[in-house]
Amino acid sequence: MSISPRKQTQQVLVGDVKVGGGAPIVVQSMTNTDTADIASTVQQIIELSMAGSELVRVTVNTEEAAKAVPEIRNQLDQKGFSVPIVGDFHFNGHKLLEKYPACAEALSKFRINPGNVGRGKNRDPQFQQMIEFACRYDKPVRIGVNGGSLDQSVLTRLLDENRKKANPQELPAITREAIVLSALESAAKAQEYGLGKDKIILSCKISNVQELISIYQDISERCDYALHLGLTEAGMGSKGIVSSSAALAVLMQQGIGDTIRISLTPEPGTARTKEVVVAQELLQTMGFRSFTPLVIACPGCGRTTSDYFQRLAQDIQAYLRDQMPIWKNKYHGVEEMEVAVMGCVVNGPGESKNANIGISLPGTGESPVAPVYEDGVKTVTLKGDKIAEEFQVLVEKYIES
Ligand code: SF4
């Protein structure tokens, strides 16, 4: 499947970040701290921002959280972090925004889940109130439908309408339609209540890859609102990474999606920033954006004498990523660089020549030398037990030059 042109959507400004309308696909993430704990939340937003998250969402679920938001914004500004904060509201957002105008001011976007804005006859007035706050404070809104908290009134209506023909096989299709309709009808109501189209982003998250693809293909055909992509409850570790990447890659290849979040369940000992790194690597490996020089490394095999070259590849990648906050304003185009670290002479010279700078380490039975290639030309051969350190110095020199 060749890459399709990006779908032209209405552009939305979130703080100073452009979402949609041809702007680069935005990476976002969400904190998992208690928002009322100002110090921990500020610290995590800084970590996410430094890792490359261009928008950070925080839950605003209690009065304490709403009270904390202005101080979180204030401390971030004082520390020089302008990353826009998005408030995630469920159930009581209308009350919190009414009682804490400074919270509304400090946020750059409100996320509203149409399934969680009041039940029955309260639903519409509370949704309307949330939209009126967005209009009053001139904030964009993400209408974020989630399969796990779908507005049951839309689903019930569709089931009633299809009662005669519905059978168990058709139910998933009706659920998908209910998810799409919930987003589209909520967006239409938001516009009716005075919110401009340039203030609306939609998302329709669900945890099944094939259904997510189908839902976003459908909604993308039926509207031109900016779309936020994400597979909800993607899970832990490789399962979360693979399922999110599979779903989002297919959609982005078809030109769908203006901003993405990779929702990973954090594994013990894993940094929250991992989801940002995965989102960036997905966008970069697909050729949509460049964030940091990427290391090309072979998988290793019986020809490698030890895990020496894997460690070298890992160290170099970590070093390049760590340096990016300094380098990105200093060295133009550094994020598009490729560094090859290869385990032996079989594919080593070829891959190293194709990269900006590459090294082919000695495999079993090879002489203990490691040729280095820069821009396709062999420049030096490293020997001895300091190959890793010497190669890192060469990478730094290459970048500086
Ligand atoms: Fe094995 Fe060499 Fe290929 Fe790496 S480059 S996978 S060490 S044969």
Of the listed ranges 74-88, 89-103, 151-165, 259-273, the one predicted with least confidence? 151-165
Whose C-alpha lies nearest to ligand 1, atom 6? 300
Q: Name the phi and psi angles at 340, rounded to 5.
A: -100, 135
* Cα(49) to centroid(ligand 1), Å: 36
Which whole number is the average pLDDT over 231-250?
Answer: 93
User: In this structure, are strands 26-30 and 17-19 parallel, antiparallel, or unpaired?
Assistant: unpaired
Which residues sit in the known binding site? Answer: 298, 301, 344, 351
Which whole number is the average pLDDT over 176-182?
Answer: 94
Taking 70 as the threshold, does the pLDDT of residue 168 lie above it?
Answer: no
Q: Name the phi and psi angles at 373, rounded to 5.
A: -120, 135
> Which atom of ligand 1 sits closest to the CA of residue 345?
2
Q: Cα(100)–Cα(261) distance, rounded to whole angstroms?
A: 28
Q: What pLDDT band is residue 237 in, cutting at 50, 70 and 90?
A: confident
Q: Is 129 helix (H, G, I), strand (E, B) or coil?
A: helix
Q: Tell me the best of 308, 345, 346, 364 to mutate to test the pocket of ligand 1, counting ligand atoms within 8 Å of each CB and taking the most.
A: 346
* Cα(399) to centroid(ligand 1), Å: 26
Q: Give which of 306, 380, 319, 314 is closest to 341, Cα–Cα.
A: 314
Q: Is 111 helix (H, G, I), strand (E, B) or coil?
A: strand
Look at 119 and 169; give whichever has higher pLDDT.
Answer: 119
DSSP-assigned letters across all residues of 33-52: S-TT-HHHHHHHHHHHHHHT
* Cα(341) to centroid(ligand 1), Å: 10
Q: Are 119 and 176 in contact (CB under 8 A)?
A: no
* Cα(240) to centroid(ligand 1), Å: 28
- 62 Cβ neighbours under 8 A, 6+ residues apart: 36
* Cα(380) to centroid(ligand 1), Å: 21
* Cα(283) to centroid(ligand 1), Å: 27
Q: At what angle do helices 152-161 and 171-192 cross, to 10 degrees?
A: 120
Which whole number is the average pLDDT over 32-41?
Answer: 97
Highest-confidence range of 34-48, 292-306, 365-379, by mean pLDDT? 34-48
Q: Tell me the best of 296, 303, 345, 354 to mutate to test the pocket of ligand 1, counting ligand atoms within 8 Å of each CB and taking the most.
A: 303
> Which atom of ligand 1 sits closest to the CA of residue 351?
5
Q: Name the phi and psi angles at 75, rounded to 5.
A: -65, -35
Is the whole-model pTM more than 0.90? yes
Q: Cα(280)–Cα(292) distance, rounded to whole angstroms?
A: 9
Size of the chain in residues: 401
Residue 150, CA distances (Å) to 127, 325, 364 in order: 15, 40, 58
DSSP state of 86: E
Whose C-alpha lies nearest to ligand 1, atom 8? 346
User: What is the residue-averaged pLDDT of the chain?
Assistant: 93
Pocket of ligand 1 (CB under 6 A): 298-301, 303-304, 342-344, 346-348, 363
> Which atom of ligand 1 sits closest to the CA of residue 348?
5
Look at 26 and 163; give whichever has higher pLDDT.
Answer: 26
* Cα(363) to centroid(ligand 1), Å: 8
Q: Are 90 and 126 in contact (CB under 8 A)?
A: no
Rg (CA), the chain: 24
Q: Tell me the best of 298, 307, 310, 352 to mutate to test the pocket of ligand 1, counting ligand atoms within 8 Å of each CB and taking the most.
A: 298
pLDDT (tens digit per residue) in 146-163 = 988 888 888 888 888 877
18 has which bridge partners? Answer: 13
Edge-to-edge strand list for the sheet holding 338-342:
294-297, 338-342, 357-360, 369-374, 377-383
Which residues sit in the known binding site for [4Fe-4S] cluster? Answer: 298, 301, 344, 351
* Cα(287) to centroid(ligand 1), Å: 25
* Cα(388) to centroid(ligand 1), Å: 18
What is the pLDDT at residue 15?
98
Q: Are 259 and 271 in contact (CB under 8 A)?
A: no
Please give the single-letter amino acid code of residue 136.
Answer: R
User: In this structure, are strands 357-360 and 369-374 parallel, antiparallel, or unpaired?
Assistant: antiparallel
Q: Cα(324)–Cα(340) distance, rounded to whole angstroms?
A: 18
DSSP state of 300: -
> Which atom of ligand 1 sits closest to the CA of residue 304?
7
What is the pLDDT at residue 101?
98
Helix (H) or strand (E) holding 204: strand 200-205
Q: Tell me the best of 296, 304, 352 to mutate to test the pocket of ligand 1, counting ligand atoms within 8 Å of each CB and taking the most.
A: 304
DSSP state of 57: E
Cα dihedral 71, 74, 78, 84 sign? positive
Q: What pLDDT band is residue 119 in, cutting at 50, 70 and 90?
A: confident
> Which atom of ligand 1 sits closest to the CA of residue 298?
4
Q: Could you report the predicted ipTM of this complex, rounded to two decimals? A: 0.99
Taking 80 as the threshold, does the pLDDT of residue 314 lie above it?
Answer: yes
- 381 Cβ neighbours under 8 A, 6+ residues apart: 369, 370, 371, 372
Whose C-alpha lies nearest to ligand 1, atom 7? 343
What is the pLDDT at residue 375?
96
